[in-house]
Structure 1
Amino acid sequence: MAPTVVENNIVLSASEKETTLADRNTHATRVAGKGADPEEKALFASVTKRIDYTPKIGTELHGIKLSQLTEQQGEELAALIAERGVVWFRDQDDLDYKEHVRLGKRWGPLHVHPLVPHSQDNPEVIVLDSRLSPPSRFNTNDSWHSDVSFEPAPASFSILKFEEIPEAGGDTIWSNGYELYDDLSPPIQHLLQGLTATHSSDIFKILTQSSGRKTFGKLNDSEHPVIRTNPVTGWKSVYTNPVFTREINGVTPAESKWILDYLGDLIAKKLQYQVRFHWEKNSVAIWDNRSTFHTGVPDFRPYQRRGVRVTVSGEKPFYDPQSGTQAKAWEATAKAIVAKQEAAEAKAKAETDAKVAASVVGA
């Protein structure tokens, strides 16, 4: 029987006994954040500063300690993440492994990764350490992905904290699947809505073959809709990614390659869909895998970095033809922003006119 290989309390390779760890993975029995207060009053009562990195994706919140969230705040945070795609927090030094796991379990069962090294005491906590060999993070230029989309019930949320960061480099970029869908022409939207795709763990199968490592559970292949409805926002999103989506079902190989290459190019190259985050020690990112894609930027060598992540298993992906879009929901927000700007400009003009008039009278 092959022994468990442990390094600094990190399980690198499974024994026969541990090969069933990931077989206990299951799906969420409820949708976290659905039905939360749309104004998220409880959450923002504790927020001292909000920074929206772009209009449609990415928000940083200050004043929140994730280890101290109330149940209501946790539900409202889940709703905000589904809406904004990714939410960041700084200075979360008290989010240890126990609190990290507890936070994830608020929103659903935690996924045990079938291959990536994990904490010996907390198998749900995977370790992304650039020192590990073979590397536990596939940081290449084409590593845009949605976490564990090869699972029958893939990730809803991922919660990543970096304990050690490089002196330079090592950012993470997210891309907005809602906006990607919204920008497709109606004929292409219609085509994709009727398709499914096979998501595969082939990248991990290749690694096990080349390294001889045992997995912690089955490496799955799963079929999911190409256009997915987010159950929290009710918005449509593209749900394919360059790392795990093997093929589009029901079309020719050439057609499948064309569709996947086209969508992959949009994910990677359309800057208006993207948001970039520069890590600090004890920063935390929480993102919605149902509606975003992400990649690490492999530019930090020879520096090292180390992060820990828990991944929340979600529902089986589905497509609802009646679901809405971010673009439609955004119309009211955009009008409110324009109205606010116009009011500010009108006020500034009135104040300037008043000063001019006063100076004329004074003269």
Structure 2
Amino acid sequence: MAPPTGLNCRNRIPPLEPFEQYEHSKDVDPSFPSLLKEGTKISDIAVSIGAKVTGVQLSQLDDKGKDELSLLLAQKKVVVFHDQDFATIPIQQAVDFAGYFGRLHVHPVSGAARGFPQLHMHSDVSYELQPHGTTMLSAIDVIESGGVTLFVNQVKAYERLTPGFCERLAELKVVHSAYEQAQTALGKGGQLRQDPITSVHPLMSDGLLNFIYHHIALSHDVQCRFKWSGRSVVVWDNRVTAHSGLMDWKGPRYRYIARLAAQAEVPTEYDPMSLTRGIVYVTGRSSPIRAAQLQIRY
């Protein structure tokens, strides 16, 4: 995905309208005949999360291959592909590829590539009515050492909580806030739209959220690390994972990575005392892993 000329920090976008998300992993052949053809290899990155696939060029996948990729994401949560051509193909081709998985998200406050508001560095936007589902990052320029990206399987993290604690979480509601991002945008001359929220009890909520953040960050055996190369693409299911970039390199170095994120379904509440199936979200402003989210999918 060749980088466009300049950034547009003055996009004016209307509020997103609801849409019906189609889950492409349904009715897919679990042997992955279109994705994992002869000559391809797949290996686990970690026991609980992550897989690396070689011998596949994502930009050449047909619709069946993309559907099978959705199923593989549901199983592995994170899938890594090296030696991809996303850094050189036309941007519109990359946009079309990611758009197959759902309506592409346009970040409400941050700058984007001129002419392509769907492209943006990675961030978590759980405050949207329909948060990200299938999300991908494509390397444009990376550093030689350091700067890995950490992913955690939050389904496994949730399964380690006691039943009583899970029931307690299900009784609570959380405000998903874009306050810090909005304040940064205001400082750069942006505009702010505010909506009313309910009252907050910071002492109780901060203690509970900090426990969850530490639980996610310290569950090392349900995490995987991804080392970037110049032609890497990583695809993940944002609904059931959390991720963080490690800024551990020295000197004035930068890495440039393009993000494309397809929005998913509207999250639904989950009652552990019933047979309801859905998603539970818990999030906060900051954590040991950036924008950590407890997103539990049943």
TM-score after normalising by structure 2: 0.82
1:61-210 equivalences in 2 (<5 Å): 61-94=53-86, 96=89, 97-126=91-120, 128=121, 147-209=124-186
Partners of 2:4 and 2:142 in 1: CA distance? 18
1:269 positional shift? 1.7
Gaps of 5+ in 2: 280-298
Counterpart of 2:260 in 1: which secondary structure?
strand
> Which structure is higher in helix share?
1
- Which among 5, 9, 19 is matched to residue 5 of structure 2? 9
Q: 1:122 to 1:219 in 2, by over 3 A?
A: farther
* One-letter amino acid of the structure 2 residue matched with residue 154 of structure 1: P
Counterpart of 1:43 in 2: which secondary structure?
coil
Gaps of 5+ in 1: 1-6, 129-136, 138-145, 223-248, 326-363
Partners of 2:73 and 2:17 in 1: CA distance? 23
| Maintained 8 Å contact 1:178/1:291 | yes
Partners of 2:262 and 2:203 in 1: CA distance? 35
Partners of 2:109 and 2:200 in 1: CA distance? 31
- Which among 287, 300, 325 is matched to residue 249 of structure 2? 300
1:29 positional shift? 2.8
1:261 counterpart = 2:210:
yes
1:19 positional shift? 1.4
1:255 positional shift? 2.3
Counterpart of 1:148 in 2: which secondary structure?
coil
Q: 1:72 to 1:102 in 2, by over 3 A?
A: same
Aligned residue-pair number:
270
Partners of 1:176 and 1:38 in 2: CA distance? 21
Partners of 1:30 and 1:299 in 2: CA distance? 38
1:11 positional shift? 2.3
Stretch moving more, 39-48 or 81-90: 39-48
* One-letter amino acid of the structure 2 residue matched with residue 147 of structure 1: D
1:92 positional shift? 0.8
Deviations 1:72-126 (A, max 9, x none): 1101101211221111100112453222211111111000111222111221112
